[in-house]
Amino acid sequence: MELIKKTHACVRLEHEGRSLVIDPGAFTEPGAAVGADAVLVTHEHPDHFDEGQLRAALEANPAAEIWTLRSVAERVSAAFPGRVHVVGHGDAFTAAGFDVQVHGELHAVIHPDIPRITNIGFFVDGTVFHPGDALTVPDRAVETLLLPVMAPWSKISEVIDYVREVKPRRAYDVHDALLTDLATPVYENQIGSLGGAEHKRLRPGTSVRV
């Protein structure tokens, strides 16, 4: 399949004329999910979930559907009855021809004083894993890890150890809108040299075959 990087946490996967978009949020360019056959949302934080992005996608394609957790579904399901599906850890489903498995239950700890919310990760076609805002380790081998590289809840040692634990063939950065051009070479060098996997940051709009 083709993996197209969008801004921040959003990616688009395309295969045999079908497309699936994960986490089109407020940091993502407008229209990132337009034309998609399916949209997956990992959690309710605005940099991953933007109601306008979802509405645009479902209005542009009357056959498009959304798979997400309950907190997001409750905010959009009334406008699109029958097209928004609630999923959680352990579920498996087919979306736009892609086989998807759900892994994970909670968002990473931002601070002990901030209550943790639900977060789910999506494992697509047994190849690509998007964990959302968590360092979830699936119970199976991962070829392509979408790596949340920089967030208020993480530090680079945790990111490196996450790559080591998952042991993917390759790791591509997501959750990178807050990573400045000055910091990028530092992160690329340390994750690339210490993570134990091929590591690359894709600029928004670029794509790779996975």
- Which pLDDT score is estimated for 90? 98
Query: Does pTM top 0.85 for this prediction?
Result: yes
- Which pLDDT score is estimated for 151? 96
Partners of 86 in the beta sheet? 68
CATH of the domain at 49: 3.60.15.10
Decide if 191 contacts 198 (C-beta within 8 A). no
pLDDT in tens, 61-96: 999 999 999 999 999 999 999 999 999 999 999 999
If one counts the domains in the chain, the total is 1
Closest CA to 118 of 97, 134, 101, 98: 134
- Which pLDDT score is estimated for 105? 97
- Which pLDDT score is estimated for 13? 98
- Which pLDDT score is estimated for 130? 98
Decide if 169 contacts 145 (C-beta within 8 A). no
How many CA atoms are closer than 13 Å to the CA of 32, on its beta-carbon side? 32
Report, as ranges of residue numbers, the positions in the chain whose pLDDT lies below 70.
Answer: none
- Which pLDDT score is estimated for 92? 98
Q: Which domain holds residue 41?
A: 2-209
- Which pLDDT score is estimated for 87? 98
pLDDT in tens, 16-37: 999 999 999 999 999 999 999 9
